[in-house]
Amino acid sequence: MEFRPCLGALYVCSILALGAAPSSAESRPHILLVSIDTLRAQNLGAYGYERNTSPYLDRLFAGGVRFDNARTVTSLTAPALASMLTSLHPHEHGSTRNGLRVRPNLFSFTKSLGRSGYATGAFVGNWTLKDKLSGLAEHFDSYEVLLTRKRWLGLVRGEATADDLVDVSLSWLDDHLEAGDRPFLIWVHMIEPHAPYRLRADYLEQIGVKRAGSVLSARKRYDSEVAYSDARVGRLLDEVFERVPREEVLVVFLADHGESLGEHGYWGHGRHLYEVTLRIPLAFSWPGTIESGVVAAPASIRDLAPTLLSLAGVEPPEFVGGFDWSGVLLRGEPAPAGRVTLHQAHKSAVGPQEEQTRLRARGLLEVGRVAEGRKEIYRVTNARLRVFELEDDPWETGSVSPQDAAPSAELQTWLDLVRRGLVVADDLPPPNLSDEDLDALRALGYLD
Ligand SMILES: [Zn+2]
């Protein structure tokens, strides 16, 4: 179990000691990290969904190792992806809500890979990932947020799509390959399944949906967005493999969080810790090096940092959280037994009327803990406890505990730790949101 108090200074100091002594450059893979926003595992074919939403991803997963039981730490974009990069929990890195930046000068696996010789480029399509809102640009050599497209000398403007992200990242890759033979890490984050769910009519036949009327249900529109995104991942990977031999590229795929499609009377993500928003697809594919398989043991979005460093031949620093899956992936070592994962939910985005000094502390909604298939969720705002036996009740339809029961000692310890991390600290950057930012967060459903 990894209860670690937030010691921002420790992480800042520790990166100086890294020094990064990579193994031989020849054996290091290129890394293509692809994430899709708001993509819940339950709506992908490989995870048992009945509609054909993900033919490309299903093939990718079948050729690599797919994690059947992976979860994010929180179901908000910037906070979750900051945890992916740093291995820290949101109350530790500081971005607990969209619009709150991470602490400056944190460790991240991308920075560490950069110091060990990798060229790193991020291409992301979500407004909340803008550097002035997230603070994530310092973790990459090149950080591009693509929100609008300009065509024909700027005369035609529109919302950027996953295709635009693919174009920009391939252009960066071409420049990189022309400049030399350093290994690269490319991160592409596509946003399409995020609300509002648009109808992708070209994919209705593929997912087996007949368009009887002019309006399709939100679930069907969501699935059409998933199918659209799946095809863009396919295009990206196919084009990368035309440029670089497949065996030299480690592909990692995941989502930042899932989506509640009406379950528990809730549409969206962020405010609860139910499985539909916590459970994410996660897979590693590296033909010739990683044998295919499925891992049932619990995994976390925080595991990417130690695992990717190890797979790239860089020793993960001791303070890095998460579990290093490289031994399981490369040598078939057993998965850890009795793994516990910890979670937290916060109000979605910071609003203009909130008291600036209490944005973090006031935002905490829920804490959660999953151990041995048993999940506890404690809602801070009404002191309500819910407990689910996930194997018997994967959709969390009925709590096995009285609502007024006290949280377990372990969950209470976790709650106390999270709360201590939400107090105001000098190294936590204040929000820096313009009216335009607030409008964009409102359009994404993050402001009431
Ligand atoms: Zn997201």
Q: Where are the domains of the chain?
A: 8-19+27-338, 343-443
- Say what the pLDDT of residue 356 is: 67
Q: What is the pTM of this model?
A: 0.91
Q: What Å distances lie between residue 268 and 145, 271, 277, CA to CA?
A: 23, 8, 8
How many CB atoms neighbour CB 150 within 10 A? Answer: 11
Q: Residue 437 has what pLDDT?
A: 83
pLDDT tens sequence across 70-101:
999 999 999 999 999 999 999 999 999 988 99
Give the distance (Å) from ligand 1 centre to CA of residue 193.
Answer: 9
Residue 13's pLDDT band, with cuts at 50, 70 and 90, is very low
Beta bridge partners of 121: 142, 186
Distance 129 CA to ligand 1 centre (A): 9
pLDDT digits (tens, 9 = 90+) for 183-235: 999 999 999 999 999 999 999 999 999 876 666 899 999 999 999 999 999 99
Q: Give helix then strand counts, H and E, for the chain.
A: 13, 17
Q: Give the best-scoring range by mean pLDDT among 50-64, 90-104, 119-133.
A: 50-64
Residue 200: CB atoms within 10 A of its CB come to 19
Residue 2, pLDDT above cutoff 50: no
Q: Residue 150 has what pLDDT? A: 64
Measured in angstroms, how far is the CA atom of residue 23 from the centroid of ligand 1? 34
Looking at residue 366, what is its pLDDT? 97
Q: What is the pLDDT, as a whole number, of residue 214?
A: 62
Q: How far is the CA of 155 from the centre of ligand 1 (A)?
A: 30
Contact 277, 258 (CB under 8 A): yes
Cα angle 384-390-393, degrees, rounded to a multiple of 5: 90
Alpha-carbon torsion angle 418, 310, 85, 415, nearest 10: -10
- Across residues 385-404, what is the average pLDDT? 95
**DSSP 8-class letter at 356:** G
- Position 353 scores a pLDDT of 65
Residue 374 CB burial class (10 angstroms; 0-12, 13-18, ≥19): middle
**What is the Å distance from ligand 1's center to 256 Cα?**
5
Query: Taking residues 39-58, what's their average pLDDT?
Result: 98
Residue 301: how many CA atoms within 13 Å on its side-chain side? 32
Task: Please give all residues whose CB falls under 5 A of ion ligand 1, grouped by chain where several chains appear.
Answer: 37, 77, 256
pLDDT of amino acid 180: 86
pLDDT of residue 22 exceeding 80, the answer is no
Distance from the alpha carbon of residue 297 to the mean position of ligand 1, in angstroms: 24
Angle, alpha carbons 376-379-385 (nearest 5°):
45
Rounded to an integer, what distance in angstroms lies between the CA atom of residue 35 and that of residue 37?
A: 7
- Under DSSP, is residue 304 helix (H, G, I), strand (E, B) or coil? helix
Radius of gyration of the chain (CA): 21
Strand, coil or helix: 177? helix
CA of 326 to the centre of ligand 1 (A): 26
pLDDT tens digit string along 239-268?
999 999 999 999 999 999 999 999 999 999
φ and ψ at residue 433, rounded to 5 degrees: -110, 130
Q: Find, among 230, 233, 232, 123, the residue nearest to 176 by Cα.
A: 123
Question: How remote is the CA of residue 190 from the centroid of ligand 1, in Å?
Answer: 9
What is the C-alpha to C-alpha distance for residues 435 and 439, in angstroms, rounded to an integer? Answer: 6
Residue 37 Cα to ligand 1 midpoint, Å, equals: 4
pLDDT band at 155 (very low <50, low <70, confident <90, very high): low
The dotted CATH code for 8-19+27-338 is 3.40.720.10
Question: Measured in angstroms, how far is the CA atom of residue 134 from the centroid of ligand 1?
Answer: 13
Q: What is the pLDDT of residue 256?
A: 98
